[in-house]
Chain A
Amino acid sequence: MPEPMGFYTDTTVCIGCKACEVACKEWNQLPATGGGRHEMSGDSYDNTQRLDGIHWRHVKFVEQFSEDRNDGRWLMMSDVCKHCVRAPCLEVCPTGAIIRTEFDTVVIQSDACNGCRLCIAACPFGVIDINPASDTAQKCTLCYDRLQVGMEPACSQACPTDSIRFGTIRELKQQAETRVRQLHQLGERRARLYGADQKFLGGLNSFYLLVDEPETYGLPRSPRMPTRNLLPSALLSTAGAVVIALLGLVGLRKRLMDDRAEPREDADV
């Protein structure tokens, strides 16, 4: 059994070139947006806009500018499936199409998926969507096909600044911690890791180095499993069912009593 593999993405060195997006699209033969008629976002230099069934990598541009645009900063982050150690998508998939591989990554088997779209609603990061070419839910596979033959995923291989690093989780964590220390020494006190520990979802096998709050990058602060709501919801509903059943019975009993007290003409007893 191979060691758990994944990505460590250092957002501080991402230059927003989108080479990873292109490499991913090419390797995975993902169709173009709108059949090639690309829409512009209109309010950003980022025109990919989101991860979905045909964008398994998305370089987010967080463009922060003052009102008069004299002051500003760009944050770039190559977003992808987090390959959660406890993956909400896998947890809820009702067909068993989503599996965990021998590399501890999360893969959707297209031939089993029936397009119910529950995983889309379950993923805390908005990663999955339907690929119109297959009409099934799709997302990054962490290049499962390449991993199986000992190759590196297409995106990390294409990344010119090594912002996306691929390797065993153990090595990647060491690299990331060294980098955080380095940034702290250089004065960037905001540098922190997101998803490298087990604080949520058992940890992310695709984790990040950020220099601001997660929300700034469009990431949830403490994502949770969907099943957290199962027991309370089910119990409350069951209690409601009991109350409604009793209400119906009380009504029938009241009718009986009323009829006894004052038999109605149409009563049949």
Chain B
Amino acid sequence: MSDTFFTGSPHWAWWIILYFFIGGIAGGAFFLSALLHLFGRPVDRPLVRLGYYSAFVGVILSGFLLTIDLDRPLRFWHMLIESNTGRPMFKAWVPMSVGSWGLLLFGLFAFLAALTALSEDRPDVKWLQSAPVRALRGRGAAATIAVLGSLFGFFLAGYTGVLLAVTNRPIWADSTLLGLLFLVSAASTGAATLILLAAWRRAGHPASLDWLGWFDRRVLVLELLVLIAFLITLGSVARAFLNWWGVLLLVGVVGIGIVVPLLMERGHKVRAPRHLVRSAALVLLGGFLLRVVVLLSSNQIHVLGSGVTGR
């Protein structure tokens, strides 16, 4: 039996599941937008702006979700400042500590990027055209925001999985692939979110959407491979999935979230936005279920001692 089975559950449930999902999307969407921003064409701009907005909304929601999950929410700042000394609180070897700072800094870049996007979108609003905001839109400043924001976006997408691995809990600490798995899933759900938002706002140019679809299909294949590798590295602990969680993993995450979207888009040479939108919705659902399964399947495991057992 894995030594992880003798530990207690931290009761991280729906707020944290939502955070892992939304934080991943925010990081993924920012990075994709930054890529289009830096290496795309003018027609990609509407999608870039949409991506920056969604990253900013995502990071605000993330901070909120993390705070309300604390048992003492008003002490959220203890993560950043040591409460009894007033000194900055930072432990480089603790993903939750690094993550608090990472989220804060990602939030800063997501805010700046969203501000430049808004200034592009609303030439009629005076303060958005003021000198400081216009300076942010300058080539160098915008590129710096895009690059640094992407780095923190990637961090936000992956550190949550690393955080789970740096515990002693079953499933989470039994593999070192959760960070990678969450990162890849953040890329696919980030792309899916952009596709859905573009369809809703009628904002994305077909050329941008085509690229997103192309990217998402490849990332989904990667995600499937990483998921299989994750299960293999769990070894005997993978037996913890011989229950309804395993069914949800197989049907919901792999089937609905990865295989069906891939199949749906096969055979559509010119990819109609309709198909893209439908498969993107499934990818999002799959990404959400992945986090549900990973968190809740572990939460229920706790060995109290061998109790009443036959000799």
Contacts and interface: CB of A to CB of B under 8 A. Distances in A.
Contacts, number: 257
A233 B166 contact: yes
A96 B180 contact: no
A63 B168 CA distance: 27
Which of A49, A244, A245, A249 gathers the greatest number of chain B CB atoms within 10 Å? A244
A264 B207 contact: yes
B288 to A, nearest CB: 20
Contacts of B82: 95-96, 112
Interface stretch (A127-135, A148-156, A165-173, A182-190): A127-135
B178 A233 contact: yes
Contact of B100 (A50, A91, A94, A130): A94
B76 interface: yes
B89 A220 contact: no
Interface in B11-33: 11-12, 31-32
B219 A123 contact: no
A83 interface: no
Nearest to B177: A236
Contacts of B226: 240
Interface residues of B, number: 83
A6 interface: no
B219 A236 contact: no
A233 B179 contact: yes
Contacts of B297: none
A64 B310 CA distance: 6
Interface in A190-210: none
Contacts of B6: 124-126, 218-220, 223
A267 B207 contact: yes
A243 B304 CA distance: 42
Contacts of B9: 120-121
4 pairs of A and B residues whose beta carbons are closest in the complex? A115-B71, A218-B305, A114-B75, A220-B3
